Amino acid sequence: MEQQTHPKHYCGVFGVYGHPNAAELTYYGLYALQHRGQESAGIVSCDGKLFRQHKGMGLVPQVFKGEELHGLIGKMAIGHTRYSTTGSSHIGNAQPLTVDCSRGQIAIAHNGNLTNAAVLREELEERGSIFQTTVDSEIVLHWLAQPTQNGENTLVSTIRKLEGAYSLLVMTERELIGARDPHGFRPLCIGRMDNGAYVLSSETCALDLIQAKFVRDVEPGEIVIIDDNGLRSIQAFPEQEKRSFCIFEYVYFARPDSNIADQNVYKVRVNMGRELARENPLEADIVVPIPDSGNCAALGYALESGIPFEMAFVRNHYVGRSFLQPSQLIRDFNVRVKLNLITDLVKDKRVIIVDDSIVRGTTCKKRVNSLKEAGAKEVHVLVSCPPHKNPCVYGIDFPDRSKLMAANNTLDEICQYLDADSLNYLSQDGMVRATGKPKESFCMACYDGQYPVEYDASVDKHIMERRRERSESLVADDSQPKLL
């Protein structure tokens, strides 16, 4: 399997309320959010009585070829596109997830990662809950399905149990609900169509595709409930004031045509390139981006420095993920097939290449080598964010510290490994300045190690050990029927 070269996001969510073609609009919304998850996709629709669903493994147009959408009738729909990080890669973990319980039918789509998932799951299992998947989204579904006790609002009480990062879409027979964690790690916004239909989406780029007008972001800690009476809001965490939006959404994950927290992602990335130029002035002949993630920052560097911008690497947009690599020959081809170098642009030149991040360093090393093989006199590597030194526990698939290049090597050691003439990263202060927001607005744990929501991996390990011990004891004691 192809080695991961960039961190993966967990997923994207999209929902529509009040449109006769809700499922079709959701399909296009997921299409626009494909960058947030490329492993599975699904849509659940509702006509006020029945849920209808279709989901599968693959890209959105592979899962929905046309005829599948015709059966997804109703004026409500939610959709999801995902990567497998929490939960393995198979159709059972594809979302949205649905359940038919005493409270009616419920569907859920989730973006993020719950840091207390193991604890919540164990509590539910002790109550007798039976899980069908390994994704933490099902934990939320089980808590929502619990009967109301003492007049307590199950929706609010469930949301208040969750810790970590989540942007949720929940659908019942009568309403569409959106919820965001109190720190606001992951984005979620509200749109409105000309016919009055409401839209909830991970990013505004999906609103643009279906010509919905952006209304506002869902606030951190807010629950929005949409039904025939319109939209109403509940603040489930009025006591929470600290905000911790994931700054890596600006660096890499969000599409450049999206607006997040009143900032256009493209402009922020260009500003990051400008900050790179101010912090790291270099003498060179051309600035070259690593497509597509380095394009904006490289342009910003070129604009600020006055060094010409050249698209020397040409990306093949029709290359999918590679699974079969039977020989070293095929592995070598796989490196070149995604990005091809225009040799004439770099020969005998001092070249600056700009990328958004270096995780393991293997891909960047190959790009440097290809430039030098093409005759570049010098190759200087610039990165439009600080070094990644810590794993993410809030919904981005950063490797553990042992596999993060910057966590285990000095700047000089990384530069030597890349065979570059120089290597420089954007500073944490420069990255924050580029956003136009105060540092206190962001989660930067992957850079500075300061986690806004505590997470103790030993707790999960202890729970898993107890579960294994219980399982082994049942196997050992086979003298009695297990259900008596």
Strands 245-246 and 442-443, sheet pairing? parallel
pLDDT tens-digit readout, 107-136: 999 999 999 999 999 999 988 888 988 888
pLDDT of residue 400: 79
Q: In a 3-state reduction of DSSP, which class is residue 14? A: strand
pLDDT of residue 464: 58
Amino acid at residue number 334:
N
**Local confidence pLDDT in tens for the 484 residues of the chain:** 334 455 555 689 999 999 999 999 999 999 999 999 989 999 999 999 999 999 999 999 999 987 899 999 999 999 999 875 444 567 878 899 999 988 899 999 999 999 999 999 999 998 888 898 888 889 999 999 887 766 666 889 999 999 999 999 999 999 999 999 999 999 999 999 999 999 999 999 999 999 999 999 999 999 999 999 999 999 999 998 899 999 999 999 999 999 999 999 999 999 999 999 999 999 999 999 999 889 999 999 999 999 999 999 998 877 654 433 444 455 455 556 778 999 999 999 999 999 999 988 888 999 999 999 999 999 999 999 999 999 999 988 776 788 899 999 999 999 999 999 999 999 999 999 999 999 999 999 999 999 999 877 665 555 656 555 555 554 455 555 444 4
Query: Does 280 lie in the same domain as 162?
Result: no
- Is-contact 204 175, C-beta < 8 A? no
For residue 408, tell me if it sits in a domain: yes
Does the annotation count 385 as an active-site position?
Answer: no
For residue 464, tell me if it sits in a domain: no
Query: Does 320 lie in the same domain as 236?
Result: no
- Is-contact 170 107, C-beta < 8 A? yes
pLDDT tens-digit readout, 26-36: 999 999 999 99
pLDDT of residue 9: 52
In angstroms, the CA 176 to CA 335 distance is 44
Query: Does 80 lie in the same domain as 21?
Result: yes
Residue 35, burial from CB neighbour count under 10 angstroms (0-12, 13-18, 19+) = middle
For residue 457, tell me if it sits in a domain: no
The enclosing H or E element of 167 equals strand 164-171
* CB within 8 Å of 428: residues ≥ 6 apart: 386, 439, 444, 447, 448
The 10 Å Cβ neighbour count of residue 160 is 13
DSSP letters of 380-443?
A: EEEESSPPP-S--SSSB-PPPGGG-HHHHS-HHHHHHHHT-SEEEE--HHHHHHHHTS-GGGEE
- The residue among 421, 438, 455 that closes a domain is 438
Residue 466, burial from CB neighbour count under 10 angstroms (0-12, 13-18, 19+) = exposed
Query: Does 319 lie in the same domain as 211?
Result: no
> Before 391, cis peptide (omega within 30)?
no
pLDDT of residue 444: 96
- Domain holding 201: CATH number? 3.60.20.10
pLDDT of residue 241: 86
The residue assigned the tokens 């509940």 is 234
> Before 257, cis peptide (omega within 30)?
no
Q: In a 3-state reduction of DSSP, which class is residue 386? A: coil
- Is-contact 45 77, C-beta < 8 A? yes
In angstroms, the CA 12 to CA 79 distance is 8
For residue 149, tell me if it sits in a domain: yes
Query: Does 190 lie in the same domain as 230?
Result: yes
- Is-contact 265 256, C-beta < 8 A? yes
Which one of 11, 46, 189, 385 is the catalytic residue? 11
Query: Does 178 lie in the same domain as 298?
Result: no
Query: Does 294 lie in the same domain as 185?
Result: no
Q: Nearest-CA neighbor of 310 among 286, 293, 282, 277?
A: 286
For residue 453, tell me if it sits in a domain: no
In angstroms, the CA 150 to CA 143 distance is 16
For residue 230, tell me if it sits in a domain: yes
- The residue among 198, 225, 241 that closes a domain is 241
- Domain holding 318: CATH number? 3.40.50.2020
Query: Does 69 lie in the same domain as 194?
Result: yes
Instruction: Pull the structure tokens for residue 247.
Output: 């700054």
Q: What is the largest CA-CA distance in the chain?
A: 80
The residue assigned the tokens 């569409």 is 176
Range(s) of the domain holding residue 120: 11-241
pLDDT of residue 325: 40
Residue 461, burial from CB neighbour count under 10 angstroms (0-12, 13-18, 19+) = exposed
- Is-contact 243 183, C-beta < 8 A? yes
Query: Does 345 lie in the same domain as 218?
Result: no
pLDDT of residue 4: 47
Instruction: Return the percent helix, strand and coil in the chain, to nearest 5.
Output: 35, 25, 40
Q: What is the pTM of this model?
A: 0.89
The number of domains in the chain is: 2
pLDDT of residue 468: 59
Query: Does 353 lie in the same domain as 276?
Result: yes
Distance of CA 266 to the CA centre of its chain: 17
In angstroms, the CA 60 to CA 81 distance is 8
For residue 420, tell me if it sits in a domain: yes
- The residue among 201, 226, 241 that closes a domain is 241
Q: Nearest-CA neighbor of 113 among 57, 181, 35?
A: 181
Query: Does 293 lie in the same domain as 155?
Result: no
Strands 230-235 and 222-227, sheet pairing? antiparallel
For residue 451, tell me if it sits in a domain: no
Query: Does 301 lie in the same domain as 208?
Result: no
